[in-house]
Structure 1
């Protein structure tokens, strides 16, 4: 291999990379916030006994779980303005696409957590006279959230990584900045290696936390 590595040129590209990193973090945080909050509501809708509510929720989940994330992003960016006459800035549109995708996956994680709530706890809620809303907020949600935490964190990492897909629709995230630098400098190997390292450093702490949460959950179940 005669290729000569040269990373020094990247010192002058710290500004664009930092700006792209900020956009990537914004996309990931906002999409995760959307997925964590809407995911539980979607989970409850998908488990509802009311068919007109349950079927659309299940269809939403299956659509986002069974189609490529890249296709979803492209569809939102190019089809939503045409069909609904809705025009959003690139970053909010990216958050919407990523957030709805994550909502579907988190709904399934929440559903597993809800189904793991012991029946005795629900019977106790009825005996105490708690309303359905009180039962959901104070009994079901805390236990479901604790059971689903490792999966939710793993899904969050996936969304951070999938945020790189918005580069294809010209959102100026970290991947887009790296692509521009690689094209300009004709140094794709060094540039994409650095970008990959940044994504790795962002994801690794979350992955370790997810592993720690899973171990704690396993230990608690064995008691």
Structure 2
């Protein structure tokens, strides 16, 4: 391979990459907060005793789990303004699309955690006279979070990686800025390698935390 890497073209361009990185982090953090919050609420809805409440929530989850994230992003950016005749700024719309996707996957992770709560604990809540909301937020949620934490964190890393898909609809994230630099400089190998390293540097600490949480969870089960 007779190719010489040359990163001189990045001189004066790091500010653009940082601005793209800032938007990527905004998309990731906001969509994860949305997914963590709405995911638990959606989980509770899917476990409702009433079918007319449960089925729409289940259809929501299946739609976002069974269609490509790229298609969802394109649909949100182009179809929603046409159907409802209103426009949302690109970054909030990206957060909405990514956040709903994470919500669907987190709801399933929460559901597994809720189902792992021992029935005896729920019986104790009834015996103590706790109200349903007290039982949910003081007993069920902490235990469900403990079980679901590794999957939730893995979904969070996935949200970081999927945030690069918004580049296709011209949101100025890290991937979009990298694509522009690669086109302008005619140095795609260096540019995309650098962008990949940035994503890797952001993801690897989170993946290590996931492994640590999984080990602690396994140890707690063995005790």
Residue matched to 1:28: 28
Residue matched to 2:74: 74
Q: How does 1:69-108 map to 2 (within 5 A)?
A: 69-108=69-108
Q: How does 1:38-187 map to 2 (within 5 A)?
A: 38-187=38-187
Deviations 1:145-189 (A, max 9, x none): 111011000000000000000000000000000000000000000
Note if 1:211 corresponds to 2:211. Answer: yes
Partner SS state of residue 12, structure 1: coil
- Cα displacement (A) at 1:86: 2.7
- Cα displacement (A) at 1:50: 1.1
> Any stretches of 5+ residues in structure 1 without a counterpart?
none
Q: TM-score, normalised by structure 1?
A: 0.99
> Any stretches of 5+ residues in structure 2 without a counterpart?
none
Deviations 1:29-63 (A, max 9, x none): 00000000000000000111111110000000000
Quick one: distance in 2 between partners of 1:27 and 1:86? 21
Q: TM-score, normalised by structure 2?
A: 0.99
Quick one: distance in 2 between partners of 1:208 and 1:84? 43
Runs of 4+ in 1 over 4 A off after TM superposition: none
Cα RMSD over matched residues?
A: 0.6
Residue matched to 1:14: 14
Quick one: distance in 2 between partners of 1:160 and 1:201? 12
- Cα displacement (A) at 1:3: 1.4
